[in-house]
Amino acid sequence: MAYVITEKCLGEQYGDCVEVCPVDCIYPGDYKGEPFMVIDPEVCIDCDACKPACPIDAIVPTVDDDPEYAKINAELSGSFKNNPAVTPRPAGDAPRKPGNKLVN
């Protein structure tokens, strides 16, 4: 079962998760007119490297934790796969969305 990037990432796109992913299954793109990241469920190996790396806790460990965004990750991964890699934001960079908080 693959990890899932949730709505918290929409408009944020920190990119820390990409740096730690051993199988390069996290892709950036545009969703609803905002930057977003998805995890390709066909490539994810459930290693748990991405979840603790996300500074706003936008990643959940199972499809059951956010079925709506699990579907979105799966649907968008094909079209996001060949996008240029995202440049991670600076450490401690404040969230862009008011409802998000840095957790690590």
Is 44 within the bounds of a domain?
yes
Is 76 within the bounds of a domain?
yes
Query: Distance (Å, rounded) from C-alpha 49 to C-alpha 71?
Result: 21
Is 41 within the bounds of a domain?
yes
pLDDT, tens digit (0-9, with 9 covering 90-100), for 34-61 = 999 999 999 999 999 999 999 999 999 9
Instruction: Provide the domain limits for residue 30.
Output: 4-80
What is the structure's pLDDT at 57? 97
Average pLDDT, integer, range 58-74? 98
DSSP state of 84: P
Is 16 within the bounds of a domain?
yes
Q: State residue 3 phi and psi, 5-degree precision.
A: -70, 160
Question: Is residue 104 predicted with pLDDT exceeding 80?
Answer: no
What is the structure's pLDDT at 28? 98
What is the structure's pLDDT at 1? 77
Is 87 within the bounds of a domain?
no
Q: Which residue has the tokens 């960079």?
A: 93
Is 55 within the bounds of a domain?
yes
Domain count, the chain: 1
Output the domain CATH number for residue 45. Answer: 3.30.70.20
